[in-house]
Chains A and B, each alone.
Chain A
């Protein structure tokens, strides 16, 4: 089963290229035919010349990054992007979500939908979409949200995963909090799963764990790609009956809190983050004998879910990217609560003085729209706060 990836904006296109590179490299090692075949089918197709080509559509409102990503891919000699699987303009979105969502998105809707349709038709079986974008800028965030909406309209039954890169807390883009709020509030209605990487966190990984001295965006993107790859590469799941799961995006977060029941607030205020669900992916040596009981501790989870319902374990005996053993944890928990709350708080403070609002109104997003989006996110924050 295949995944069609849509790379949006500078970040989406840079991270996406690193992801395909990681996956391709991982696949090349050693005689692991079923793993390689599953992975290849998932992310690539073969042209008549035998070139491994990514199942991806590259979108940006300026051409330089797409050109770079396509060149880098081709240079690897191992895989490439489809020659016509990209769309770019020249003027950029100016870091303005409204410009991306209200102007560029609709203006180029048909072209983008066509490019996606071509990729979908190339798949024997489509397991879903992954849209990769940042939330801070204008194209990834604005056009990305619009494209997600289009995907949802055209493929209502398909799984849509949004991979989001959150910016550094301190300024990459001054209006990043506005762009983030607008993106998240919309995606909450459209997306099946939102996978988040925060630049600050990945930066810390680079400096403290990897001990890189002069950290570049390349380093950051590679870490993100590595983590993403370790989740999305083939794995044996509880219900895949001993073969690699056909559904890499089947992270089943279909949990609903019980209605009308009492929910007591955590008295301690939570010394660690309560989880709604956790996914642990183990790869490499000794996966079958690994002791994972700790992850099933009921105190980790919200009181209205049992650990059995909330904890998922995937395994693959094949080492990922030469790591003898590796483990990845994907968590739906309160871990993102504080960053989300901070982001909303900063955006709200700025909104209180109406700073920069004229820039959004100019392209079609009103103060009312802002208020609606703030309200949606406050509800999300509230729901997560009440987990215990």
Chain B
């Protein structure tokens, strides 16, 4: 059990660790071409690591990334949050409020220009979920104009933390109210992707050998090195973050930065849950890249296998979609594929051409090109509905409630408000879904007096 507790409480730091590791590799690979000095160094100075248990953070400090961070960027305690959102959000949230704000202000001062806050956490535990969302609302208070993008690891149904539905729903309310964008990632999807890659690497068919260093689950040393549990899953999320930030770190003919993502993908303030999907998951050794292979990459991005949550966007409704392409891919390739895929993707009537695109010249290590798709799609509705069901199962029986309610600051109303927020979010998606497939007439234009 201890092992799992580390993971849920510490997911954010472990993913973060993979991110920095991979980012360093990426920049080392393009040493001369990348804006190594400026962009990268400013990136690293601006991390704040928070955990209520020292284990993972200490590990990071003792590892090869230790020199990248300094002690002013860390905030730890010893006993953990016991997988209890209330402890994370209320107890530690209040106790550490000043210190947290202090750390944040210091980190912000290092920035020539603060563009965005990036939070990484899991929803199912206590610290990431509870304290994480407290930090989120502090960020809104202290830096109201700076964009807040959150990567949230959602627990799967088979999750072994019994109270993860409580923690997740309580956290979700905070995300809906205080985040600008949320990228939900489901553990089960990560497991599925990892398994798929491992299957591929073991088939041993000629021509199907996976190139060293080219899977999105590998950290250092590729597939063969014995890696820590969850490393490969965390690598996937780290790759997601790498791709989102690539335009800020490298040149391209059509830059797409984090502010633009929030602007283009969020048509209504609360509907800011974006489904991420990544391709390729790995590259085969036969390296020639005919156009067909490139087009396949675009198709894959819209297939269920590549989504980082279990969802079916093609059969729901798109409100908006962003494509971040990396590598030697040209605007004509992008246009051709959008034209090709458009007919099979249902878009909401007022955004029939709702595509936001970015081209970054530098591809990830080991790949000639890659694609990140971020979709604002009603397919998140089933995920949220399932979460609501799991919550209700527990809440009906008042199971484990006392652990939460006896925390100072926590009341029954926190629960009822949280579930109500989730329900109305689901309703909003539902209304949009209802418009799917209906021919909406064009709004009558303004008449001009002659």
* A interface list, Cβ under 8 A from B: 10, 14, 62, 64-65, 68, 89-96, 138, 168-175, 203, 206-207, 212-218, 220, 344-346, 348-353, 355-356, 358-359, 374-375, 378-379, 382
Contact = CB atoms under 8 A, between A and B. Distances in A.
A346 B349 CA distance: 10
A91 B355 contact: no
Contacts of B284: none
Interface residues of B, number: 46
Contacts of B253: 14, 216-218
Task: Give me the 10 closest cross-chain CB pairs, A-B, nearest first.
Answer: A171-B355, A94-B259, A90-B113, A352-B443, A215-B332, A355-B267, A217-B253, A216-B330, A174-B264, A91-B115
Given A89-B113, A91-B113, A174-B351, A216 B268 contact: no
Given A344-B445, A353-B350, 5 more contacts: A90-B112, A94-B147, A95-B356, A203-B331, A378-B445
A62 B257 contact: yes
A174 B339 CA distance: 16
23 contacts: A10-B254, A14-B253, A90-B112, A94-B147, A94-B259, A95-B263, A170-B339, A170-B355, A171-B356, A173-B264, A174-B264, A174-B265, A174-B351, A174-B356, A212-B332, A213-B332, A215-B330, A216-B253, A217-B254, A356-B267, A359-B266, A378-B446, A379-B448
A92 B260 contact: yes
Contact of B448 (A68, A94, A168, A378): A378
Contacts of A93: 259
Contacts of A359: 263, 266
Contacts of B333: 214
Contacts of A212: 332
B354 A174 contact: yes
Given A175-B264, A215-B330, A220-B331, A62 B255 contact: yes
B355 to A, nearest CB: 3
Given A94-B257, A171-B356, A173-B356, A216 B332 contact: yes
Contact of A348 (B254, B330, B353, B443): B443
A379 B448 CA distance: 6
Contacts of A345: 442, 445
B33 to A, nearest CB: 12
A170 B352 CA distance: 9
B251 interface: yes
A359 B442 CA distance: 23
A356 B351 CA distance: 11
B338 interface: yes
A355 B351 CA distance: 9
B320 interface: yes
Contacts of A348: 442-443, 445-446
B155 to A, nearest CB: 31
A174 B338 CA distance: 14
B357 interface: yes
Interface string B256-291: 010110111111110000000000000000000000
A170 B170 CA distance: 39
Given A96-B263, A174-B355, A90 B350 contact: no
A171 B357 contact: yes
B357 A358 contact: no
